[in-house]
Structure 1
Amino acid sequence: MHLPPLISDLGLILASAGITTLIFKKIKQPLVLGYIIAGLLVGPYLDFLPTVTDRKSIDIWGEIGVIFLLFSLGLEFSFKKLVKVGGAASITAIVKVLFVLGTGYLVGKLMDWSDMNSLFLGGILSISSTMITIKAFEELGIKHKKFAGLVFGVLIVEDLVAILLLVLFSTVAVSQQSAGPEMLQSILKLGFFLILWFLGGIFLIPSFLKATKKLMNDETMLVVSLALCLIMVILADKVGFSAALGAFIMGSILAETTQAERIEHLTKSVKDLFSAIFFVSVGMLIDPSMLVKYAGPIIIVTLVIIVGKILSTILGALLSGQPLKTSVQAGMSLAQIGEFSFIIASLGLSLKVTSDFLYPIAVAAAAITTFTTPYLIKLSEPFYNLLIKILPKKWQDGIDRYSSSTEGITKLSDWRILLKSYAFNTIIHSVIIIAVIFLAYRFIQPFMAKHVSSELSSTLISVIISFILMAPFLWALSIRRIQKTAYSHLWLNKKYTRGPLIAIEFFRIALGVFFVGFLMYKFFDTWIAAGIALVLIVLVMIVFSRKLQSFYNKLEKRFILNLNARENQKPDILPWDTHLTEIMVSPESEVVGKTLSELMIREKFGVNIAMIERGKITIPTPGREERLYPNDKLLLIGADDQLAGVKNLLEVDLPEIEAESNFPDKEMTLQKVVINTESPVYGLSIRNAGIREKAQALVVGIERGTDRILNPSSDFIFDNGDVIWIVGNSKKIKEVI
C-alpha cells in the first residue's frame, strides 16, 4: 500500500516541529521561532534533511492553521473589550500603526522597491504580535503591572486594524492602485458586515448555546464551535472577504458568550496543532541564500521595527495622556512583529503582487524581534530612568501637567450623550434594514415568483414579508425616544436647542421614509404604485406603533441579555484559569509583621501562598501562623483579577523591584491529578490525606463531573474520577497521590 505524500509530509513537519520546540523550550526561547526554524530545515532550500514533497497540500494545512489561529485570537478579542480599552489604547494604537506604516513605505521606496512591496512592507511592520507579547509578559510575571493594561488595549485595537488592512490591501492589490473610491467602498462594506454579523451573532448564537447546553459535552461543544467557525469562514468568502476575517469574527462573537472560556480551552489543542503547521509552512518559504543576499534590508527593517515602534508607541501613549514611565514601558513591549505580519505577507504572495524576497525578510525580522522582545521589556525601566536624567526638567513637568489634565476630561455634555446615542441608533438600524431589503430582493422575491403564479401576488407577498421584518427596526430608527433625560434637558433650553432637536427628529423620519421608498423601488415598476404602497406602509407604522414598540423591546431585551450574559454570570473561576506568579513584599507594605491568619489572603482574595522564600530559607506551603517580612518572595496561585488585588496589598507603588525568580528551581508547579480507586488518598479528606505535610503541596481546585470548586475546604473527601488541581513539588506529589 502506497502512503500518500500528505501523510508522510505531515509526519515530517510534526517531527521536526516537535524536536526543535523541545530544544527551544529547553533554552527558554519562543516556540514560534522554533517552528519557523523547523520549516527552514524541512523546506525545499536545504537538502541535508528529508524535504516536504507535496507543497500544495501543506499550503492548505497552513491556511487551516491561519483560520484556527485567527479564531483563537478572536476568542481573546471581544468587541466589548475594544469599547472598554478606552481612548488611551485607541489613540496609542492608531498613532503607532500610522507612523510605522508610513515609515515602512518610505523605507521600501528608499531601497528602490515597488509601490506594492513598500506598501505591504509598511503593513507587515505596523502590527505587533499579541501571542509573543502575552507570552513574554507571562514568562516575566508582569501581567499585573500598570503599563500591561495599556499594552493589552493597544493589541486589541491593532487586531481590528490588522483585519482592516487585510481588506484594504486586497482591494489595492486587485485594482493595482490606491484608488480612493474602491478603498472607501471596501471600508464601508467591511463596516456593514462587521455590524451585521456581530448583531446577528450575539442575538442567535448565545441563545442557541443556552438552549443546547444540556446536550453539550466536551466533544459536542468542540465540534459545534469549529463548525460555527467554518460556517462564518464560508460566509466571509461568499461576500468577498478572507477566510481569516470570518474566523476572527466568529471567535469574537463566541467571546461574548458564557461558554467562551470552555470553547477556548477545548479548541486550544486544535489551534496549537494547526498553528504549528502554519508557522512551519512560514519557515519553509525562507531561502537561506535570500537571507544572505538581503542581509542589509533585514537589518534596516529590524531597526525600523524596534526603533520606530518604540518611538511611535511612546508618542501615541503620551498624546493619549499616559505618564512617561507607562509610555516607555508600553513602547518597549510592542517592538516586534508576528502572526498578522505573516498573514499580510502571505496575502501579498497569494495575490502575486509582492516580490519573493519580501516574505523571507519579514520572517527574518520577526524572528529577530521575537528574540529581543523579553530583553527590551526588562530594559524598559532602566531606559526610563535614563530618560529622566537626560530630559530637561521643563519637558518632564510639561508631560506631567498634560497627563494630569487629560485625566479630568471625562464629563459628557447632554449634546454629546444624545448625538452619540443617535449615531449608534441610526447606524445599527440602517444596517439591519438594508440587510432585510437585500435579503428580500435576492431570496424572498425569487422564491415567491417561483411558487406563486401571479406576478402581482408574488410581489405583494414579498413586500408584506419584507415590511414585517423591517417594521420593528424602522420604528426604532424613526420614532423611538432615545436618552430621554438628556433630551429633556436640551428641550427645556428653548433658545438654542429646540431647532437642532427638531431637525434631528425630521432627519430620522426622513431616513425611515427613504428606506421604505427604497424597498418599494426594488419591487415595483412604476412610481405611482410605489408611492401608494409607501403611504399605506407609513400609515400602518403609525397605527401599530405601540405593538411595534412592544415587539422591539423584546428583541432588544434578548440582545442585551445575550450581550451581557458573560459579565452577569455568577463568578465561576476555573482551575485552569489560575496560574503561578511571584510577588515581593515591599518593606513599606502594611502586611509586614502580620501572620497569614491575620491577613486572611485566601479568604479575602481567593489566592493561595504556595511558598515563601526569605533569603536562603525556603518555606513551602506556609502555615497560618507564618509572618511576612520585608522582601519576602511569595509564590502565589490565583486568577488574574485575584492576583491583581493581592499585588496592591503586598507591593507599594515605589520604583518597582525586578527580582530574579528562584522558584522554578524548586520545581513548584501547578498540575492536574486524576483520582481513582487505587489512589492512596481515595476516600480520605484533604486534611486526613496529609497532602500539605507530606508533599508540601496545596489543593487549589477540584473538578467533579460538571462541578468545579476553587479552594476546597479541608473536609472535602476525594472520590473516584475527581480531577485535582494541586500546586507543589512535582516529585513529592507523585509520591503521595
Structure 2
Amino acid sequence: MSILTATLSMTHLYSYFPLLATATEGETADSALVLASVLLSLVVIYFASKLGGEICFRINLPPVLGELVGGVIVGVSVLGLLVFPEGDFHANNSLLMQFLQLGTDTTPEGLEAVFAAQGEVISVLSELGVIILLFEIGLESDLKELIRVGPQAAVVAVVGVVTPFTLGTLGLVYLFHLSIVPSIFAGAALTATSIGITAKVLAEIGRLSSSEGQIIIGAAVLDDILGIIVLAVVASLVKTGEIQIFNIVYLMISAAAFLIGAILMGRLLRPFYVKLVDEMKTRGQLLLVSLCFAFVLSYIAQIIQLEAILGAFAAGLVLAETEKRKELEEQIIPIADIFVPIFFVCVGAKTDLSVLNPAIPSNREGLIVAAFLVIVAIIGKVVTGFTVFGKPELNKLAIGVGMIPRGEVGLVFAGVGSASGALSPSTDAAIIIMVILTTFIAPPWLRIVFKEPTPKTQEQEST
C-alpha cells in the first residue's frame, strides 16, 4: 500500500501531469485523499458498468450500451458522482469530492488539487482501457479470413466508410457551418461498425454462416481497420492544427505503412516471440510479453504522430497469427474487464446531455445536428448492401442494416475526439446520441429484414 501511495504522491503526479501545477495554483494535494478519491471513483465506475451491463444483457441489448448509459447517470448529466476537471466543472460539482471533504480539514484549494489529480489518474486509466480494447479487437480479427471473404466485403466496407464520412463532413460544414476539424472528426465517427453486436444478432437468428452474414462480418472487420486508420489520421490532424492535403496524404500513407510494416515485422519475429514465451518459467510470461509488444507498438505509433490505439490494434493482428492466440485471448479477458469499463463509463460520464436540452434555444442546433448524424449514419450504411455485385439472390437490405450499429468502436471515436478537444460539448453529445440510437435500432431491424431461417439454414448453423 505504501508503494501505491507514494506513486500517487503529488511529486510524481506533477512529473507526469504538468497541467496539475497550474490547475492547483501552488496548492499541493493530500496524497491519501488522492488515493481515496481514485479508489472511490473506481467503485462508482465498476458499479455503474456492471449494473448497466446486466440490465442491457437481460433485455437483449449489448452490455457496452449499459456501461455507456451507466456513465451518463453517474456523470455530470445526472448524479454528478464522477466529474472531471474539464470545462467549467470544479470540485464542488462532484458529490464524490464533497463526500471526501466530510470529516477533514481540507481547504477548498486543497480539494481542487485532489479533484484535478483524481481526474488525471482516472483519465490515464481510461486511455489505457481503450488501448487494451483495441488490442483485444486485433486479437479477435483474422487476416486470412478477411482475405478469403473477397472483393464483395471490401466494396461494402469501403462504401460504408466513404459514404457516411463524406455526407457527414460536408453536411456539417455546409449545412451547419461547423469548422472543418470537428466536422471531419464527426464524419469519421460515422464510419465505424460494431462487429460484435451484428455477429451476436446474426447468430441468434441463424444467419451467421449465410452469404449475407459472411459479407457483413468481413465488411465489419475491414470497416474497423479502415476506421482506425481514419481515426489515427484525423486525431493527428488535430495535433498538428493544420488541414493540408500534403499532411493528409502523409498521415494516410504513414498509417497504412505502419500497419503493414508492423504485420510484416511481426511475422518475422513470431518464432522468436513463441520461443521466448515457451522458455520463460515465471507466471504471466505470455500476458506480460504480449502487453509489452502492444505497448511498444502503441508508443511508436504515438511518436510518429499517429494514435496509440493503432499500434495496439496492429499488435493484436500480429499475435493473432501465432499459436498462442487462444491462450492469449483467454488471459487478456480479465485485464480488459478491469480497464475497458473505465473507458466506456468515462465517455458517458463526460457527456453533458444538458447541451441537448430543447427548452434552451441555443441547444436546439445541437439536437438538429444529432438528428442529422443519425440519418446519415443509417443511410450511409444501408446503401452499402446495394453495392454488392453479381449476387442478385442476396438480401441486400439485410447487408446494409447489419452494418448500421456503431457500438464500442463509435464510442472510441467520441472518446478520442472529446479528449483531444476537437469536439464541442454539443457535437460530442450528438455523436453519443448517434451511437446509442444506431446500436438500439439495428438489432430489431436486422431481425425484421431477414426472413425466418429455413430448416436447412438452421441445420447448417447448428452444425
Name the structure 2 match of 1:76: 140
Query: 2:45 aligns to what?
Result: 13
The aligned counterpart of 1:128 is 193
Q: Deviations over 1:291-340 (max 9, x none)?
A: 323333222221221233112x123224xx33353422211111122333
Distance 1:140 1:277, change over 3 A: farther
CA–CA separation in structure 1 for the residues paired with 2:184 and 2:393: 31
SS at match of 1:325: coil
Q: Does 1:25 align with 2:25?
A: no
| Distance in 2 of aligned mates of 1:60 and 1:66 | 10
SS of alignment partner, residue 4 of structure 1 = helix
Name the amino acid aligned to 2:72: L
Structure 1 position 24, deviation (Å): 2.1
Q: Quick check: which one's strand share is greater?
A: 1
Counterpart position of 1:317: 388
- 8 Å CA contact 2:141–2:221 kept in 1: the answer is yes
Name which of 214, 217, 228 aligns with 1:152.
217
The aligned residue for residue 273 of structure 1 is: 338
- Tell me the SS of whatever aligns to 1:29: coil
Contact 2:72 2:351 (8 Å CA) reproduced = yes
- Structure 2 partner of 1:91: 155
1:204 Cα offset (Å): 1.1
Aligned-residue offset at 1:52: 5.4
User: What is the CA distance between 1:66 and its match in structure 2?
Assistant: 0.6
2:204 and 2:187 map into 1 onto residues whose CA distance is 30
> Residues 403-453 of structure 1: CA distance to partner in whole angstroms, max 9, x if unpaired?
xxxxxxxxxxxxxxxxxxxxxxxxxxxxxxxxxxxxxxxxxxxxxxxxxxx
Pair 1:101-2:165 in alignment: yes
Deviations 1:450-472 (A, max 9, x none): xxxxxxxxxxxxxxxxxxxxxxx
For 2:385, the aligned partner's letter is I
Alpha-carbon distance change, 266 to 84 in structure 1, aligned in 2, over 3 angstroms: same
Who is 2:307 aligned against? 242
Task: Say if 1:285 and 1:359, in contact at 8 Å, map to a contact too.
Answer: no
Using the TM superposition, give the Cα deviation of residue 198 of structure 1 relative to its aligned residue in structure 2, in angstroms: 1.7
- Residues 255, 188 of structure 1: alpha-carbon distance in 2 compared, 3 angstrom cutoff: same
Residue of structure 2 equivalent to 1:199: 264
Q: CA deviation at 1:261?
A: 1.4
Equivalent in the alignment of 1:493? none
TM-score by length of structure 2 reads 0.77
Residue number in structure 2 paired with 1:45: 77
Matched-pair contact (CA < 8 Å) for 1:44–1:52: no
The structure having more radius of gyration, on CA atoms, is: 1
Shift of 1:185: 1.7
In 1, Cα distance between equivalents of 2:421 and 2:353: 21
Aligned residues: CA RMSD: 2.6
- CA distance, structure 2, for counterparts of residue 212 and residue 47 of structure 1: 47
Cα 1:247–1:49 change in 2 (3 A) is closer
In 2 relative to 1, CA 80–103 (structure 1 residues): closer, same or farther, beyond 3 Å?
same
Contact 2:229/2:310, CA 8 A, preserved across alignment: no
Aligned to 2:113: none
Matched ranges for 1:348-497 at <5 A? 348-381=417-450
The answer to whether 1:300 aligns with 2:359 is no
Indicate conservation of the 8 Å contact 2:277/2:289, yes or no.
no
CA contact (8 A) 1:123 1:341 kept: no
Alignment match, 1:178: 243
Q: Distance in 1 between matches of 2:231 and 2:246?
A: 17
Residue 358 of structure 1: how far off its partner (Å): 1.4
Match of 2:284 in 1: 219
Match of 1:169 in 2: 234
**Matches of 1:55 and 1:39 in 2, distance apart?**
15
Equivalent residues of 2:65, 2:407 under 8 A apart: no
Aligned to 1:262: 327
What's the offset of the Cα at 1:216?
6.2
Q: Structure 2: how far apart are the matches of 1:257 and 1:229?
A: 14
Q: Distance in 2 between matches of 1:381 and 1:188?
A: 39
Shift of 1:222: 2.1
Question: Is the 8 Å Cα contact of residues 325 and 381 (structure 1) preserved in structure 2?
Answer: no
SS of equivalent residue, structure 2 residue 67: helix
Deviations 1:39-73 (A, max 9, x none): 11211332376755532222112101110110011
- When structure 1 is superposed on structure 2, of 144-153 and 230-239 the one drifting more is 230-239
Larger helix proportion of the pair: 2
The aligned amino acid for 2:38 is L
Unaligned runs of 5+ in 2: 1-31, 83-94, 98-117, 358-362
Contact (CA 8 Å) 1:16, 1:42: kept in 2 or not?
yes
Aligned partner of 1:531 in structure 2 is none
**Structure 1 residue ranges without an equivalent (≥5):** 386-582, 590-632, 635-642, 648-737
Residue 252 in structure 1 maps to residue 252 in structure 2: no
CA contact (8 A) 1:345 1:359 kept: yes
Secondary structure at 1:47 match in 2: coil
Structure 2: distance between partners of 1:128 and 1:218: 37
Q: Distance in 2 between matches of 1:49 and 1:240?
A: 34
Which sits farther off after the overlay, 346-355 or 82-91?
346-355
Q: Are residues 184 and 212 of structure 1, via their aligned partners in 2, closer, same or farther at CA, if it must alter by over 3 Å?
A: same
The 3-state SS of whatever aligns with 2:190 is helix
Structure 1 partner of 2:404: 335
Looking at structure 1, the residues matched to 392 and 330 of structure 2 have their Cα atoms a distance apart, in angstroms, of: 36
Task: Specify the SS of the correspondent of 2:322.
Answer: coil
The 1:136/1:272 distance shift into structure 2, 3 A limit, reads: farther
CA distance in 2: counterparts of 1:29 and 1:355, whole angstroms: 29
Question: Alpha-carbon deviations, 1:278-299, whole Å to 9, x = none?
Answer: 1101111221212323333222
Contact 2:233–2:255 at 8 Å: present in 1 too? no
Residue type of the alignment partner of 1:165: V
Q: Choose the corresponding residue for 1:35, options 67, 72, 86.
A: 67
Q: Is the 8 A contact 1:12 1:52 kept in 2?
A: no
Q: How does 1:665-684 map onto structure 2 within 5 Å?
A: none
CA distance in 1, matches of 2:270, 2:190: 35
- The offset of 1:211, in angstroms, is 5.0
* 2:348 is the counterpart of 1:283: yes
For 2:397, give the aligned amino acid. V
Give the drift of 1:214.
5.6
Q: 1:242 to 1:48 in 2, by over 3 A?
A: closer
Q: Would the alpha carbon gap of residues 299 and 52 (structure 1) be closer, same or farther in structure 2, given more than 3 Å must change?
A: farther
Greater RCO structure (CA 8 Å; 6+ sep)? 2
Distance in 2 (CA, whole Å) between partners of 1:29 and 1:174 is 36
Aligned to 1:693: none
Q: In the alignment, is the contact (CA less than 8 A) between 1:285 and 1:360 conserved in 2?
A: no
Render the CA deviation track for 1:174-233: whole Å, top value 9, x for unaligned: 444432211222223223333332222111134321454264687332222222222222
- Aligned to 1:126, the other structure's residue is in SS state coil
**Alpha-carbon contact 2:134-2:313 (below 8 Å) kept:** yes
How far apart in 2 are the matches of 1:244 and 1:262?
22
Pick from 242, 246, 253 the counterpart of residue 188 of structure 1. Answer: 253
Q: 1:324 to 1:272 in 2, by over 3 A?
A: farther
In the alignment, the residues of structure 1 paired with residue 177 and residue 54 of structure 2 have an alpha-carbon distance, to the nearest angstrom, of: 41
SS in 1 for 2:422: coil
**Letter paired with 1:381:** F
How many residue pairs end up in the alignment?
A: 391
**Gap change, CA 1:213 and 1:323, over 3 Å in 2:** farther
- Asked whether the 8 Å contact 1:108–1:118 carries over to 2, the reply is yes
Shift of 1:235: 2.4
Given the superposition, is the C-alpha separation of residues 192 and 42 from structure 1 closer, same or farther in structure 2, using an over 3 Å criterion? same
AA paired with 2:449?
S
